[in-house]
Amino acid sequence: MKYIHPRHQPYGLAAKRGLQSSPSTSYNPDIVLEGLGNMKKLRCLIVYRGNYKDRGDLVKIDEVSQYLPNSLRYLDWPNYPHWCLPKTFQANNLVELHMSDSRITQLWVGGKVRTLDLGLTPNLVRLDLQFCDDLVELHVPVGCLKRLTYLNLRECKRLKSILFIKDLESLEVLDVSGLHLNELKDLTPSHSNNTPQQLDFDGNDIEKLLSSIGNLHKLVYLSLSWCSKLKSLPRSICSLQHLRVLNLVDSYIEELPEDIGQLECLEQLSFSDSEVKHLPDSICKLKRLNTLILENCKVCKLPQDLGQIDSLNRLDLGLSNITDIPPSICKLKPLKSLNLFGCSNFKKLPENLGDLESLIRLNVRRTKIRDVPSCICKLKHLKVLDLSECYELEKLPENLGDLECLKELYIRDTPISHLPDSISC
C-alpha cells in the first residue's frame, strides 16, 4: 500500500512511503490503522476529518499509539483531537509537523502541562500550530531547530513567550498573527545573515515599529494588517530592497514614508480601511508595482504622475474620498482593473480613458459621474462595465456596441431610459 486517501469517507487518512503516490483507494479506518503498524518505512502520514471538536466518535489515543511508525518524517493532522501524541511514537526523524486548530497541549505524556518540548523533534523544518488556542508554552532548547525554515503560530493567543525565534538560524517564513504582541524587536534574528523572507504580524498590539525593521534585509513579504494601534512607519522600512508585498489593511497608519519610492522591488501595496490621507509623490517611482489598493481609506487626491508606474494593472480606489483621477493614469497601458465603487465625490472620468488599452473591468458604481466619454468604446478588451446607482447618468455613448468583448453591463438604478442601437447590431 503506497497511498490511501479516502477524504470523502467518515474518516480520511492518507499515507505515503517516501513521496511516491498511486491512485487513491478507500479503506475501512480500522484496517488502515492496523496496516500502519506494519509500515516500518512510512515517511508521510496525513489524516483528515471534519471538526473533531464538535464530534464524539473520536479515535482513542491508545488505538493510535500502537500504529504511528517512528520512521515518520511528515505528519499532518488538522483538528487533532487529543491533548498529546502517543508516548510510544519517537519523532527523531520528523521533519514537518502540521497540527493546526488542534487540542494538543503537550507532545507526549509526562511533559509540562500545555507545553510542547520541541527538543524532542530536533530535525523539524516546518512547524504549523496555527489556531492551537490551548497552547501556553513552547520549550526550545538552545541549539535546537537549526533547520526550521517555516513557523506558523497564528492565533496561538495563550503563548507566554516566543523569544526563541531570534535564535532560529534558518527561519524563512514566520507567522505570529493575533498573538497580541506589542513589540517586534524580539523577533529580529540574532544571526544577521538569516533574516526571514516572509513575516505575518497581523492583528497585534504594536504601537510603533522600531528602525531595526530595516535590518530584515531579505524580507520579501511583510503584513501588518489589523494592527489597530500602529500609526506610523519608520523611514528605515524603505531600505528593504527586496520587499515585494506590503500589507497595511485596517491599520491606523496616517501617512506613508516620503521615501517609499525607494522600495524598487515592491509589487503589491495595500492599505485599505486605513487612515492614510496622502500618497507621497515618490510612489510614482515604484516601477514594478502591479497592485495598488486604497479601498475605503482617507486619500482624496492621487499624485499627478501616477501614470509613471509602468507595471500597474490593478488600481482599487473603492469607497475612498477621491474626487478625480489625474489624466496621466491613462498612460497605464497594463492596467486591467479600475475600481471607483462608492467614491461618492467622484464626478468625471478622464477624457482619454480609451487609452487604457488593456482595461478589462471598470467599476464606477455609486459615483456622481454625469456622462461616459465616447472614447470608452476604444477599450477592445473591456468585459465588465458597472454603472449601477449612478443617479446622475442619463445616457450611454451611442457607439457602445464597439465594445466587442463586453460581457457584463450594469445600469441598475440609473436614469438611463434606453440602450444605444449599436448594442443590438
Give tens-digit pLDDT for 6-28: 333 333 445 443 333 333 344 45
| Nearest Cα to Cα of residue 295 among 252, 335, 250 | 250
Most confident of 44-53, 80-89, 207-216: 207-216
Query: Kind of pairing, strands 337-339 and 314-316?
Result: parallel
pLDDT per residue as tens digits for the range 175-234: 999 999 988 876 766 666 678 999 999 999 999 898 889 989 999 999 999 999 999 999
pLDDT-derived band at 66, boundaries 50, 70, 90 = low
- Residue 55 has a pLDDT of 43
Mean pLDDT for the stretch of residues 308-316: 97
- Residue 20 has a pLDDT of 39
Q: From CA 44, how far away is CA 41, in angstroms rounded?
A: 9
Residue 154 vs residue 92, higher pLDDT: 154
Q: From CA 414, how far away is CA 394, in angstroms rounded?
A: 7
| Nearest Cα to Cα of residue 192 among 211, 169, 176 | 169
Mean pLDDT for the stretch of residues 374-396: 97
- Residue 240 has a pLDDT of 96
Q: pLDDT at residue 87 above 90?
A: no
Residue indicated by cell numbers 495595500: 270
Mean pLDDT for the stretch of residues 233-245: 96
Residue 239 vs residue 63, higher pLDDT: 239
pLDDT per residue as tens digits for the range 325-341: 999 999 999 999 999 99
Those residues with Cβ within 8 angstroms of residue 28's Cβ, 6 or more apart along the chain or in another chain:
none
Q: From CA 46, how far away is CA 65, in angstroms rounded?
A: 15
Q: Which three cell numbers stand for residue 7?
A: 477524504
- Average predicted confidence (pLDDT) for the chain: 85
Question: Is residue 334 a contact partner of residue 358, using CB atoms and an 8 Å limit?
Answer: yes
Q: pLDDT at residue 253 above 50?
A: yes
